Amino acid sequence: MSTPPIVIIAEPDPIISSILRVEFTRLDFAVLLAASGPEAEAYASQTVAHLVVLDTKLHLGAYDACARIRRRAGYTGRPIVLTATEPSPKVKAAAEKASATVVLPKPYSVDDLFNAIRPFVPADDLLLTHSARVGGVNAPRAWAPAAPLAWGADGNSALARNGQLLPIVRGKGVVIPLIRKPNFGG
C-alpha cells in the first residue's frame, strides 16, 4: 500500500487555493495549503512533497521560499512551480535564480500544471503514475485500504485505527477586513 502524493500549495487567493485543493483531493493527492512562503517552507521541512506550487504575489517571498525549499534534502529533483499573473522576463529571471522548475501563467488548470512539469519529472514518478491521475475516476486506487472500513466501538473509523487518515491541513488564509458604514447621524 502506498501513500498518496503530497502537494504543497501557497496561493494567496482563497478562491484559487480552494479550487486547487478540491481538484487535487479529487485526484487523491494529499494537499497542504500554505498562506505564505515561510509556511510552505515549514511544510517542506516536515515532509518531502511531490510538487510545490508557489504564487509570485505571496506577501512573504515566493522566490526566497523557492530557493530555500530547493536547497532542502529531497527537493533537488522535485518540481517547484511558480505561478504569476504576468510571467514577464523579470519574473522568469527571478524564478530561474530561485531554481524554480517552471513559471506558469495564471489562470491555469491542474491539467495545465501537469503539462508544464511533465518534461521535468521522470515518467515513472508517483506524481505522474498515481492511479487516479492516470485512469481517472474509475481507476483502482493506489492506496486503498486492505479491509472494509467500519466504525469501531470506540467511535474511531477504520481509517483512524489503521493510521491511514490524512490530517486536514489548512493555512491561516486571508483575513478580510470588516468594513463598517460610517455613522453620520449619531
* Residue ranges of domains in the chain: 6-135+146-161
Give the contacts of 151 (CB within 8 A, at least 6 positions apart): 157, 158
pLDDT score of 105? 92
Of the candidates 72, 76, 93, 92, which has an alpha carbon nearest to the alpha carbon of residue 84?
A: 92
Q: Mean pLDDT, consecutive 10-residue segments, the chain of 186 residues?
A: 83 86 88 90 93 84 92 93 90 92 90 91 84 49 46 51 52 57 61
pLDDT score of 70? 95
d(CA 104, CA 86): 9
Strand blocks (E) in the chain = 6-10, 30-34, 51-55, 80-84, 102-105
| CATH for the stretch 6-135+146-161 | 3.40.50.2300
Q: Convert the pLDDT of each residue in 115-162 to its tens digit.
A: 999 999 888 888 888 755 544 444 444 444 444 444 455 555 555 555
pLDDT score of 143? 46
* Dihedral sign, Cα of residue 74, residue 81, residue 26, residue 22: positive
pLDDT score of 72? 94
pLDDT score of 180? 61
d(CA 137, CA 131): 9
pLDDT score of 126? 85
Q: Name the residue type at position 68.
A: R
Q: What angle do CA 143, 149, 152 make, to 5 degrees?
A: 135
